[in-house]
Amino acid sequence: MRTAVVQMRSTPDVAANLASVERLLERAVARGAEFVLLPEAFAFIGPDALKQQITESLPDGGPILAKCQALAAGFGVHLVLGGFHERSGEPGRAYNTCVHLDPTGAIVSTYRKIHLFDVDLADGTHLNESDRTVPGADIVVTPTPFGPLGLSICYDVRFPMLYQQLVDKGALALTVPSAFTLSTGKDHWHVLLRARAIECQAYVLAPAQWGHHHGSRTSYGHALIADPWGCVVAECGEGDGVAIADLETSIVLEARRRLPSLQHRRL
């Protein structure tokens, strides 16, 4: 399955962000992509007060979901909305939700981010995601033409047990759509993603935000695809772009046969 991970720079301008999604999706499809994954917060990164105004309920959605469904159907691709601002019903707090759309635009699966990013970093970055986000609780694997795909979002990548459980539920590939901070990304992004691929013996698909978004918020970028041996087989450089690779079920199965570490777990 030819798969594309998108790298983009979202801002408080929803219309501009969705125009970027359409442009990058068109680029991916022109290169043969059948499955396209968008990063976390693809539709909006900006002041929280404004974010609360553009949240949408699922499955009914609103203009953002409708636009994405039309794009999936128009291009005839599976489309993963890496981090959708889903209305929670709790004032001032939304879900951070990964949504899988099929080539008709229908919702296949949704996953609400479990691990929330509450940190004070040495460079002065202060993020308290739990102030404005309700955590999810369910582990989700979604069907694709390639095989089962385990869903996660950004900070989840630091918690290996989640990915082990996704593999136990059948996942042959894992997605980690992110808006990874610049300060942590330069040291941890590649290491964490490659580690999840190696220990789970699965493809890791990591669409990413890059550059300056709003205020002091800056993301690392480097959207990438890693294979089940932990090798990065496609990666974006600077700026907007798409990284594309062909996923092959046989490569996953061969990696698991050759080094059957998943069968050797004792704990």
Q: Which of 56, 67, 68, 113 is catalytic?
A: 113
In 140-248, which ranges are continuous DSSP H helix?
A: 160-168, 182-200
Active site residue 51: no
- Residues across the chain: 267
Q: Which of 68, 98, 154, 200 is catalytic?
A: 154
Contact between 51 and 17 (Cβ < 8 Å): no
In 7-95, which ranges are continuous DSSP H helix?
A: 14-30, 48-54, 63-75
Q: CA dihedral in degrees (34, 101, 9, 196; nearest 10)?
A: -80
Active site residue 40: yes
Q: Token pair for residue 188?
A: 């941890």
Q: Could you tell me which residues are beta bridge partners of residue 221?
A: none
Rounded Cα–Cα distance for residues 183 and 105 (Å): 36
Q: Is 238 helix (H, G, I), strand (E, B) or coil?
A: coil
Q: Could you tell me which residues are beta bridge partners of residue 36?
A: 4, 79
Active site residue 154: yes
Neighbours of 99 (CB within 10 A): 25
* Residues classed as catalytic: 40, 113, 154
